[in-house]
Chain A
């Protein structure tokens, strides 16, 4: 009885800590991950939707206002948000979430980056000096980020550290099982040659073993031109691809044009949570990606 009363007292004192940790997530996948790890102890704000190109966001007043009250800003980093986040953070006048502070979390710092350019020159298009920033499509990266994010959330919100660690353990066991399942499902995709609109699926291919044989953008971040598409079509005659992939936020016309002429399917994949109606959460995101790839391959 006394123990229960004591517990009640503890809960009463702990009440202020229950006020949710305010998370400003640059992309929906990090909001979803923060919710997986925080449950009802976090309130998340998604700065962008899955139908927006995270490279090209305007530093809108609403983003500045939300960053002002955030306890934790969770972004991809690796210069993905370089066109808008620095402006948002500077205008938000919130010292806790400035780069270098515990309230600023860059997911890309916790995973090995692919496609680190050897030559830094704008003639190469919109290159990212630290490497390809679209890290979220390799689920193994998400478990690495989850570990670091749970630790950071515990650092900022010490009262709930055990809660975040418990949820992390639960998430990791579910996630490992899911990865094993996805890898089994995705086995027939290994070695499949594909064309992509933008190099947004590099980590997905690295994980599942797909082969990227053509890119529709002439240079990263530069929209496909008619001349370049014609050249890609010629290339595909010599080195055929099984399908043309694009993120659901990208314009469909370029991949449709190519798909029709090459006689292969054009497939829109969710690049993040919310990219398709089926990609409701992180599990749904990878389920849907695999379903769509296998369906286009003719296996479903």
Chain B
């Protein structure tokens, strides 16, 4: 018992010594930890400083471009447009004609019945050097023919607001003529565009534009070309076959409204501009026009977007007026009677359309087309060609389209087309327009 007490007493006596020893250890540990901490803090501070330095030098240096294959780095921007339609037409599209007007022979009339492929457009564009930019557009038609629609150079560095274009390009006359078909708000071109410019007027030539240094957009344009497309025709002559002048003005009204107005004049000369038409007994005969053709074109585009933000709601109104005067001679039935006499005509046409995006992705639109036969004097040939008897074609179209993204669009369009004097064509179209690849910005 005593022994036990002694041991306990000894232990108790030893405890302070033990705790003292432990205290010394803890103090040593603390000191060690403190030293470690100081060391780490110093290292962390150094690292932080290095990080800050790295961040700063990274900020100073421009963002590193991703490594690229240098062989392909300079490839032009490429884009492909795919389109297709389903058409339900109450009249035979083969019998489509614009009564009262000389056939333009261009891309006129509705697409074929049932399913059909639209034009597939392949576009390549790039800067050539610091001074020039090139653009090329190939259109593959559904009949497997391929056409060079655009192939031109455009200057980048001319002074004084000048821009020169040369090659083959859509003429800058009017508004819709310069738009590629995939940018149209309806499946087809306005009737007046089909009657007076063969759907789309492309020029082989040069275009000079001058932009005034004013706050209001003011642009003058002049074009010289061969004029081999309708309303001209190839004359196999040196010099200039067609020329045009144009003035465009535009601006904003507040933040929500923007407008663009234009007035253009196109002068073309034609030799042996052939067209097929039925004679009084219903046989198709070949005829030709030779002479001068003048076209005045006035256009107005007005766009509205609340606060200038078109992402949710926007409205676009577009109208153009065409007035054509042709003077020369007409040869009737080239392969038969071949009777030539003077020809004079003054004709006009217009369209107006409105397209409203009422919520993201969805738009509705309505368009009205009207042509005025005006006066047509074919001299001795008057009455030989029933198509030239006075008639005012007209058409009403409504459409709704849905765009899942900026690169795809699906459209449903109804039209009552009274282009023929004896029948009204009820048309239903379903269309898709898709844009693949680098798709450039659209003009206003």
- List the B side residues contacting A110 at CB < 8 Å: 59, 62-63
What CA separation (Å) do A258 and B249 show in the bound complex? 45
B35-79: which have CB < 8 Å to A?
58-60, 62-63, 66
Complex contact A62–B252 (CB within 8 A): yes
Complex contact A92–B63 (CB within 8 A): no
What CA separation (Å) do A65 and B250 show in the bound complex? 9
Complex contact A60–B63 (CB within 8 A): no
> Could you tell me the distance in whole angstroms from the C-beta of A98 to the nearest C-beta in chain B?
6
Complex contact B406–A90 (CB within 8 A): no
Given A93-B162, A108-B63, A126-B405 in contact, is the A61-B154 Cβ separation under 8 Å? no
Interface range on chain B (Cβ under 8 Å from partner)? 35 or more
- List the A side residues contacting B157 at CB < 8 Å: 95, 98
Given A83-B406, A94-B161, A98-B157 in contact, is the A109-B312 Cβ separation under 8 Å? no
Given A61-B251, A112-B58, A112-B63 in contact, is the A53-B309 Cβ separation under 8 Å? yes
Complex contact A111–B211 (CB within 8 A): no
Complex contact B442–A59 (CB within 8 A): yes
What CA separation (Å) do A98 and B156 show in the bound complex? 8
Provide the B275-318 mask, 1 if CB < 8 A to any CB of A, else 0: 00000000000000000000000000001010111111000000
- List the B side residues contacting A98 at CB < 8 Å: 156-157
> Could you tell me the distance in whole angstroms from the C-beta of B48 to the nearest C-beta in chain A?
15
Complex contact B252–A49 (CB within 8 A): no
What CA separation (Å) do A92 and B210 show in the bound complex? 9
- A84 interface residue (CB < 8 Å to B): yes
What CA separation (Å) do A140 and B60 show in the bound complex? 12
> Could you tell me the distance in whole angstroms from the C-beta of B392 to the nearest C-beta in chain A?
33
Provide the A50-73 mask, 1 if CB < 8 A to any CB of B, else 0: 011101111111101110110000
- List the B side residues contacting A122 at CB < 8 Å: 405, 407
> Could you tell me the distance in whole angstroms from the C-beta of B121 to the nearest C-beta in chain A?
18
- B441 interface residue (CB < 8 Å to A): yes
Provide the A85-103 mask, 1 if CB < 8 A to any CB of B, else 0: 1111011111100101000
Complex contact A86–B440 (CB within 8 A): yes
- A176 interface residue (CB < 8 Å to B): no
- List the B side residues contacting A61 at CB < 8 Å: 217, 248-251, 258-260, 444
B103-148: which have CB < 8 Å to A?
130, 133
> Could you tell me the distance in whole angstroms from the C-beta of B409 to the nearest C-beta in chain A?
14
Complex contact A62–B63 (CB within 8 A): no
> Could you tell me the distance in whole angstroms from the C-beta of A8 to the nearest C-beta in chain B?
32
Given A87-B443, A130-B63 in contact, is the A125-B405 Cβ separation under 8 Å? yes
- A235 interface residue (CB < 8 Å to B): no
- List the B side residues contacting A94 at CB < 8 Å: 161
What CA separation (Å) do A140 and B59 show in the bound complex? 9
- A48 interface residue (CB < 8 Å to B): yes
Complex contact B407–A93 (CB within 8 A): no
- List the B side residues contacting A49 at CB < 8 Å: 255, 307-308
- A82 interface residue (CB < 8 Å to B): yes
Smallest Cβ-Cβ distance to B405: which chain A residue = A222
Smallest Cβ-Cβ distance to B159: which chain A residue = A95
What CA separation (Å) do A65 and B252 show in the bound complex? 11
- List the B side residues contacting A64 at CB < 8 Å: 211, 217
- B327 interface residue (CB < 8 Å to A): no
Complex contact B63–A58 (CB within 8 A): no
- A221 interface residue (CB < 8 Å to B): yes
Given A51-B308, A122-B407, A251-B312 in contact, is the A93-B209 Cβ separation under 8 Å? yes
- Looking at A68, A94, A109, the one whose CB has the most chain B CB atoms below 10 A away is A68
- List the A side residues contacting B372 at CB < 8 Å: none
- A249 interface residue (CB < 8 Å to B): yes
Smallest Cβ-Cβ distance to A55: which chain B residue = B311
- A163 interface residue (CB < 8 Å to B): no
Residue in contact with B441 in the complex, picked from A51, A87, A140, CB distance below 8 Å? A87
Smallest Cβ-Cβ distance to A88: which chain B residue = B441
- A157 interface residue (CB < 8 Å to B): no
Complex contact B250–A95 (CB within 8 A): no
What CA separation (Å) do A62 and B133 show in the bound complex? 24
- List the B side residues contacting A221 at CB < 8 Å: 405-406
- List the B side residues contacting A140 at CB < 8 Å: 59
- List the A side residues contacting B250 at CB < 8 Å: 60-62, 65
- B163 interface residue (CB < 8 Å to A): yes
A263-281: which have CB < 8 Å to B?
none
Complex contact A62–B211 (CB within 8 A): no
Complex contact B308–A111 (CB within 8 A): no
Complex contact A95–B444 (CB within 8 A): no
- A20 interface residue (CB < 8 Å to B): no
Smallest Cβ-Cβ distance to A110: which chain B residue = B62
- A144 interface residue (CB < 8 Å to B): yes
Given A59-B441, A83-B441 in contact, is the A91-B406 Cβ separation under 8 Å? no
The 6 closest A-B pairs by CB, nearest first: A61-B250, A61-B217, A87-B441, A65-B217, A95-B157, A223-B360
Other CB < 8 Å A-B pairs besides A61-B444, A66-B215, A108-B63, 18 of them? A49-B255, A52-B308, A55-B311, A58-B258, A58-B305, A62-B252, A64-B217, A65-B216, A65-B251, A68-B213, A85-B441, A93-B209, A110-B59, A111-B59, A111-B63, A126-B405, A221-B405, A221-B406
